[in-house]
Structure 1
């Protein structure tokens, strides 16, 4: 298959040029003018931006949690991704006791492979850090599994890792080229807050936020950063949502340490006030949305370069599932949707002048590709996969659940107005979304085996 995208404005993380893009057999083979169009399908991108596909490096599809399973299957989740310009999705393979790293990833792959509409990869969430698992780090990295998540919370759910285990994992990651990420919150303070609220009959969604206020996350961020600094290992903090944690990241990076900070669109757009709404339970996620000062700090972190990536933590639950906690916030399944909103939201903010389009591409495509070893993703350049998005900056788009492509029956983004929108998505040269319509298929996506970091590299 040969395709020539003409007359568009190509936006990469470090450049903006008017040029054509030649695609052959799923790869970008040339970028420039006067390219050979013989036998090619011609795509006129006049008035459009030509962007690399986004990488959502944080999703939870078909995830068992709180006695249920998240609402989007691998098919529905990757379909929604394609319709929002996301061409690579990272999901979490959560280890069960006694299982190895490759074993749990391969089990998850068997579920995902026949359903995936775009390319995908896995982070392995470690919950049982035995000596055998630590030994397996090297083989797993060579297999293409180089990123591991450790929870500092969810003690009662059996997911939490001890401080010592996280420290051991950081030491081993430095030796093997793996990358450790953490969900940073203080579980003991959360549990104490919850106990007190329930005793006092304070059970609405607002108390979900009050049980996990800013300092509960910030304290854990700072602990994890101290461990990374002492081991010389890089650290990736997922879904950063608070001002003090942002400050700690900035200080560590300024000192020369490799600390990556990810935030999410919901933290950039909503504040904790959503938990006072009648539908506040729909916004329950962990960490929760925080106050205006924290949101301002995150945007400042984006402006100054200390936020490294934006991803979604996509983990939707239906209205019926969320209603389990209508009278008790502790029973609300934690998670919100966003996989289809990631790129359109960040590009809309760029279109409004809040950041540059180059920075939006860097946060949503180039940086996650580089950090997580997706060597063929992240840019519209020769040799890269033809993961390409056409974006029309002139479209006025209002998000409604009816025009989304998730299996969830509502969206927290209902009524949000965007300036500009994705009009086409190509996955390895194949058209998977066009003008509001999904046109991909289950099973098209392929598993990405990713390159590890350089072992023994100091932060």
Structure 2
């Protein structure tokens, strides 16, 4: 064996049991009660610790041009941070340029990512120019290994938004070829009206970012996207769901038997809109913004019911000096927060405190992502034949998050001072140790492209 992890408590989305795990050539070869008689190049004693599948972050924006700058984490920095938080696969968004093919767009970002990635990776493609040729190319993209496309119902001025007709055509075609469309759901016209009014009144603090995009601005778009998905009986994935009305609509659609999947983010589960009143409120500016306590509680209830299928980060950080561009005008604040290193530790901490089970944390951060996006059982579980993407977690460790113990290139963290109960102490990517007790020990270029299979 190349690696044996002994005496740990293995936790998957379905099961919890004591076992030893044997790894060879980057794959899990055996899971059994005892491997005491087996030799290995590396033997880890996980007594008292939990052994979990690595998380898959289904939503990141690394090196993304936006708001007059580029998100702060390169592919190296973002995947390094991911590894140090127990995330062993990241899905990044590729924004299609005007006149650009889907595979062409992906290959451009893949060439940028490949020499840098510290863990495995895949992509979603955001559609901005849905020509007949691009619709036809959906099948080629799925054959290439990309089975998910995104449309923006917002960012009209930035040239990213599509209309409802484009969204529906994309959803219909995606279903035909074994793919799924995700949507960023907010109402741009209402948001623009609110912004115009606030600026006229001299209301420019970060608090007005939230007030310009309140619950109803997101809820209407959630309902509209779900309405079209139901009307045409096509799959739908709502990214970064943040509001109670939207959560209620997702639950209703799922109870009616429709294939509607929702994702939420750690920042919506821990913080409330009160952060925008803080002196550093601009650091929390993201879209959709963090909402009120009623919405937060609804999201947690959705996780417990299974109507939130995935927790992902929308990791898109900007340096503090860039956030300061909007110190006196919230419309100039680059949109995005960090989270790729915080997602799994935070959700596992909440499990450790009894809010959800550890199995549920694994389900929403790992297993569901792999299953819903076509890379299971290679990813997202602990089973013979699966990739040895493994996290050793110490449930007794107390960890206080600080910019000084994070591993990205961002010069602050919105999670500063948050205390977690339990923390990952080791991360393995395909059997290779990449994080060890606070230190990144992996290497850039180690990560591999994950080719995903068509969805059924």
How much does 1:139 deviate? 1.3
Alignment partners' CA distance in 2, 1:79 and 1:332? 26
How much does 1:2 deviate? 1.1
Whether the aligned pair in 2 keeps the contact of 1:423 and 1:436 (CA below 8 Å) is yes
1:18 is aligned to 2:18? yes
Which residues of 2 match residues 5-404 of structure 1 at below 5 A? 5-35=5-35, 37-375=38-376, 376-404=378-406
CA displacement, residues 23-57 of structure 1 (integer Å, 9 cap, x when unaligned): 00100011112335224421100011000000000
Alignment partners' CA distance in 1, 2:40 and 2:204? 64
Alignment partners' CA distance in 2, 1:264 and 1:145? 22
What's the counterpart of residue 427 of structure 1? Answer: 429
| SS of alignment partner, residue 384 of structure 1 | coil
What's the counterpart of residue 453 of structure 2? Answer: 451
| SS of alignment partner, residue 230 of structure 2 | helix
CA displacement, residues 230-249 of structure 1 (integer Å, 9 cap, x when unaligned): 12111100000000000000
Whether the aligned pair in 1 keeps the contact of 2:390 and 2:428 (CA below 8 Å) is yes
Alignment partners' CA distance in 2, 1:281 and 1:449? 37
| SS of alignment partner, residue 96 of structure 1 | coil
Alignment partners' CA distance in 1, 2:162 and 2:32? 50
Whether the aligned pair in 2 keeps the contact of 1:397 and 1:421 (CA below 8 Å) is yes
CA displacement, residues 335-387 of structure 1 (integer Å, 9 cap, x when unaligned): 00000000000000000000000000000000000011112000011010000
How much does 1:153 deviate? 0.3
User: Which of 420, 432, 453 in structure 2 is aligned with 1:418?
Assistant: 420
Whether the aligned pair in 1 keeps the contact of 2:19 and 2:34 (CA below 8 Å) is no
Alignment partners' CA distance in 1, 2:185 and 2:40? 53
CA displacement, residues 106-157 of structure 1 (integer Å, 9 cap, x when unaligned): 0000000000000000000110011000000111101101100100000000
What's the counterpart of residue 408 of structure 2? Answer: 406
Alignment partners' CA distance in 1, 2:114 and 2:422? 32
**Unaligned segments of structure 1, at least 5 residues:** 455-459
Whether the aligned pair in 1 keeps the contact of 2:96 and 2:129 (CA below 8 Å) is yes
Alignment partners' CA distance in 1, 2:310 and 2:182? 13
What's the counterpart of residue 457 of structure 1? Answer: none
| SS of alignment partner, residue 23 of structure 2 | strand
Alignment partners' CA distance in 1, 2:306 and 2:58? 18
What's the counterpart of residue 442 of structure 1? Answer: 444
Whether the aligned pair in 1 keeps the contact of 2:4 and 2:40 (CA below 8 Å) is no
Whether the aligned pair in 2 keeps the contact of 1:366 and 1:379 (CA below 8 Å) is yes
Whether the aligned pair in 2 keeps the contact of 1:124 and 1:148 (CA below 8 Å) is yes
| SS of alignment partner, residue 323 of structure 2 | helix
Alignment partners' CA distance in 2, 1:396 and 1:334? 31
| SS of alignment partner, residue 261 of structure 1 | strand
Whether the aligned pair in 1 keeps the contact of 2:90 and 2:121 (CA below 8 Å) is yes
| SS of alignment partner, residue 366 of structure 2 | helix
Computed over aligned residues only, the root mean square deviation of the Cα atoms, in angstroms, reads 0.7
Alignment partners' CA distance in 2, 1:55 and 1:84? 11
Alignment partners' CA distance in 1, 2:34 and 2:324? 58
Whether the aligned pair in 2 keeps the contact of 1:262 and 1:311 (CA below 8 Å) is yes
Alignment partners' CA distance in 2, 1:406 and 1:37? 38
Q: TM-score, normalised by structure 2?
A: 0.99
Equivalent residues, number: 454
CA displacement, residues 292-349 of structure 1 (integer Å, 9 cap, x when unaligned): 1000100111111110000000000011100000010000000000000000000000
How much does 1:452 deviate? 1.2
Larger mean CA deviation between 28-37 and 246-255 belongs to 28-37
Alignment partners' CA distance in 1, 2:309 and 2:272? 21
Alignment partners' CA distance in 2, 1:173 and 1:324? 39
Whether the aligned pair in 2 keeps the contact of 1:4 and 1:42 (CA below 8 Å) is yes
Alignment partners' CA distance in 2, 1:359 and 1:256? 22
Alignment partners' CA distance in 2, 1:340 and 1:268? 16
Whether the aligned pair in 2 keeps the contact of 1:174 and 1:232 (CA below 8 Å) is no
Larger mean CA deviation between 225-234 and 175-184 belongs to 225-234
Alignment partners' CA distance in 2, 1:140 and 1:72? 26
| SS of alignment partner, residue 97 of structure 2 | coil
